[in-house]
Structure 1
Amino acid sequence: MESNRGEASRIREELGNLKSEKSEIERRISVLEAQLRDIDETKTNSCPQLENGDSGFGHGLSPDMIYRYSRHLLLPSIGVQGQSSLLKTSIVVVGAGGLGSPALLYLAACGVGRIGIVDHDVVELNNLHRQIIHSESYIGRSKVESAAAACRSINSTIQIVEHKEALRTSNALEILSKYDIVVDATDNAPSRYLISDCCVVLGKPLISGAALGLEGQLTVYNYNGGPCYRCLFPTPPPTTACQRCSDSGVLGVVPGIIGCLQALEAIKVASTVGEPLSGRMLLFDALSARIRIVKIRGRSSQCEVCGENATFTQQQFQEFDYEKFTQSPLTTSPLKLNLLPTEARISGKEYNERVVKGEAHILVDVRPAHHYKIVSLPKSMNVPLSVLEVRLPEISSALEKEEEHKGTETASDVSVYVVCRRGNDSQRAVQLLHKMGFTSAKDIIGGLESWAHDVDPNFPTY
């Protein structure tokens, strides 16, 4: 027993000595690296041969540039070399929305030499709580124009290239091939696969971010032997799992944080400093204020695009149907389902006419309760789709009450209409109601958005 204690003591002492030696070695490495950087910068500054357009200081930075980027130049890890690299780099940001807004602003401010902006959408009022690159004066105008103007107002010395179009297989190769680094600031599955595949084909590093609700994530694909998007997700997730901000909501600051981090990763790749998030993923939880970095799967040898035996060519890329592959549209327009026969549907105008005529009916709003609190139609009852089946007795009871009130012979003479936000969940609800015996149930086509458009222009939309 005594010998064991002695051995344990000896091991602890030796371990402590090794840790001390490790700390001293790491400190010495840092000192030597700093000295080497100073020597390299001295050599660069003393070089008598000037490049075209050089200011005469040996590094190509004009007095205005030195002053503008002085806080970068003071950083040993960035310095003249890092800033010069940024000025020579070209970066394209696909999407000028919640993620793209802060990414573009910081990339422009930090002096990236040429920035491309790809987006086909226009600025809307409900963009402004998160898409901070836009302003009220640009509502109804091109997001690319708005974003470009904001970038130029921050830094008039860099080049901004406007691509006022949606990224498709028909134009992606031509657009992305013109840039060194690609930033994916989109919010849909087909775009993520399309951009990643295109980056693999072109050999471009991809800075990929995502934000939804109160959470966000970030990683770097196709960089220094790291994985691509398909390595992690060889098959698309089900469409029910692919939510968008327009459907599920997002706290404005969350894409702002992720977009800033996308700019940071792009800067690190461009200036070759630090450790980009290749092979790792950053996960951000806004409510708990937690940031976690997790190791992700490395490049898959079986990946159809970047694997060892992959033969994915530019021609195959251009012929690939990403909407069919992911079962979701590339467009940012809301999804429009068509699940019911014509006789099981009714327009908002038709429903309004029947209300005016005094038709005996009940109106079931199947949106989540927190949606219902935002705005609702008069005399509707809220039964969320997620609990519709277990709350069918409430619908039966409402039918009976309406029968008594209107004096109809039976509850079956009372119509059931179903409404939701856009007319998708209402169709799913009617399908379920038909199976459960409510065969007269009909959905209101287009939901509350169509009601606001066709019946009551003052009805709020969200």
Structure 2
Amino acid sequence: MPTSPKNFAMDNRYSRQLQLPGFGPESQKKLQNAKVLVVGAGGLGVPVLQYLAGMGVGMLGLVDGDLISLTNLHRQVLYSTPEVGKPKVEVAAQKLAQLNPAIQLVPYQTHLTTQNALQIIKEYDLVVDATDNFEARYLINDACVLLGKPFVYGALHQYEGQVSVFNFAGGPTYRCLYPNPPTAVEIPDCNTAGVLGVVPGLVGCQQALEAVKVITGVGKSLSGYLLMLDFLNQSQHKIKLKAKPENQRIQRLQASYAVASCTTVPEIAPSELMEWMNQGKKLLLLDVREENEYVAGHLQKALLTPLSMFEHQVDQLPTHLPMVTICQKGGRSLKAAQMVLDKHAGAEVYSMKGGMEAWQEQLHNHLVVS
């Protein structure tokens, strides 16, 4: 249920930004009248939500179907250790209401889908894309084009970030930057690449700033530009983007935004793999995560074979046994299994769908050791 806004004196809570030249009561009123949807309550979404709530955006929608996990906490600092396992949007809405009871918060404990995107987004003036996957980005883009809504884009990889504003005042859309999504094997795996805790916070703050610019008209937004941020070397530059009219004439959402896969690997569900293990079926479990992930919790009899070293080990794998590759979310295991098939065409190899996160969500710690 949404939390209800309450009346608070504008000149007390927001006095420091009301003093700013070029901002003042008019801009604050625009923030209070604005309705902003933040898709994703993780590394990017947390700072966006905290700052937009604190600055007085009148209505904030929160879309996220995930639960808080321990691996979130080094970067998603709105959450705490006792809250692991709870829905992100539920916890976020409670804490943001404490930060600013004068705003309305509308949590959606779900992922954005082709079935709900248009219905949810139409209620808002602006969308902030705080997701971490290409399916959601293209869905948000297309829905915003159809509904005539601007959206603030943010993405990160290791020590780098990207920020832009799309579909605003006739400017470029996300498809003007990236016309088509990559294939599954082309997508960088954030579990392999890693992320420094502070980096999503820095990118998310830039997104919050761009949202405020779009709402109030203060300053110059990044519409028409892609801001590239290198935090390791403290450098940044902007790339000029060109709007392509064909990308602004989308007629409908696609039936599916699933990233095309060029892998030939069959997948196995965690429940089916557990059946095999309980039955004592002879098989080779290959955990292709890094050692720190493996030590934190792995399946019984799973061998540590990090993807970063996998190509040097694939020739020595015994192919007379069925193999199951396992990672954190399922991306790395697909790549590893494909490498096995490339080297051993007749091998029986499977990738565990959804990785250890899916196993623990569905089967908890059954057959997990640490």
**TM-score where L is the length of structure 1:** 0.66
Which of the pair has the greater relative contact order for Cα pairs under 8 Å at 6+ separation?
2
1:427 aligns with 2:337: yes
Q: Residue 101 of structure 1 aligns to a residue in which SS?
A: helix
Cα deviation per residue 1:344-373 (whole Å; 9 max; x = unaligned)? xx9477579879xxx9x9876655678678
**Correspondent of 2:74 among 129, 136, 150:** 129
Contact 1:89 1:270 in 2 (8 A): yes
User: Aligned partners of 1:458, 1:270: CA distance in 2, in Å?
Assistant: 48
> Mean Cα displacement is larger for which, 115-124 or 146-155?
115-124
**Structure 1 or 2: more helix by fraction:** 1
Instruction: Provide the C-alpha distance between the structure 2 equivalents of 1:447 and 1:170, rounded to a whole number of angstroms.
Output: 22
Match of 1:102 in 2: 47
Question: Distance between the aligned counterparts of 1:440 and 1:82, measured in 2?
Answer: 64
Contact 2:176 2:244 in 1 (8 A): yes
Q: 1:216 to 1:158 in 2, by over 3 A?
A: same
TM-fit CA distance, 1:106: 0.4
Shift of 1:124: 2.1
Q: Give the equivalent residue in structure 2 for 1:12.
A: none
- SS class of match (1:323): coil
Query: Which residue type is aligned with residue 323 of structure 1?
Result: Y
Larger radius of gyration: 1
Aligned residues: 352
Distance 2:354 2:114 in 1: 33
Task: Name the CA distance, whole Å, in 2 between partners of 1:295 and 1:144.
Answer: 34
Q: How does 1:345-424 map to 2 (within 5 A)?
A: 347=273, 367=289, 380=303, 382=305, 384=307, 388=311, 395=316, 419-421=325-327, 422=330, 423-424=333-334
When residues 351 and 145 of structure 1 are mapped into structure 2, their CA distance, relative to the original with a 3 A threshold, is closer
Match of 1:322, SS state, is coil
Give the deviation of 1:92 after TM superposition.
1.0
The residue aligned with 2:265 is: 339
Instruction: Output the CA distance in 2 between the equivalents of 1:448 and 1:196.
Output: 28
Where structure 2 has 5 or more consecutive residues not aligned to the other structure, the ranges are: 1-6
1:205–1:459 distance in 2 versus 1, CA, 3 Å = same
Once the two structures are superposed, the pairs formed by residues 159-174 of structure 1 within 5 Å of their partners are 159-174=104-119
- Alignment partner of 1:321 is 2:255: yes
Deviations 1:309-363, CA, capped at 9 Å, x for gaps: x3x33xx22xx22325x327xxxxxxxx872599xxx9477579879xxx9x987
Q: Which residue pairs with 2:154 in the alignment?
A: 209
Distance 1:263 1:459 in 2: 41
Using the TM superposition, give the Cα deviation of residue 195 of structure 1 relative to its aligned residue in structure 2, in angstroms.
0.8
Query: Which whole-Å CA distance do the structure 1 matches of 2:349 and 2:201 have between them?
Result: 41
Does residue 212 of structure 2 align to residue 297 of structure 1? no
Aligned-residue CA RMSD in angstroms? 3.6
Specify whether residues 385 and 197 from structure 1 end up closer, same or farther in structure 2 by C-alpha distance, changes over 3 A only: same
3-state SS of paired residue (2:155):
strand
SS at 2:9's partner residue? helix
* Aligned counterpart in structure 1 of residue 94 of structure 2, from 149, 152, 160: 149
Is this contact kept in 2: 1:114–1:161, CA < 8 A? yes
The letter of the residue matching 2:241 is: R
Contact 2:340 2:349 in 1 (8 A): yes
Q: Deviations over 1:255-312 (max 9, x none)?
A: 111111111111111111001111111212232222x2322321113x2x31xxx3x3
% identity of equivalent residues: 37
Alpha-carbon offset, residue 416 of structure 1: 8.2
Mean alpha-carbon deviation: is it higher for 223-232 or for 239-248? 239-248
What residue number does 1:187 align with? 132
Gaps of 5+ in 1: 1-61, 329-336, 400-411
Taking the aligned partners of 1:380 and 1:349, their CA distance within structure 2 comes to 19
Are residues 155 and 427 of structure 1, via their aligned partners in 2, closer, same or farther at CA, if it must alter by over 3 Å? same
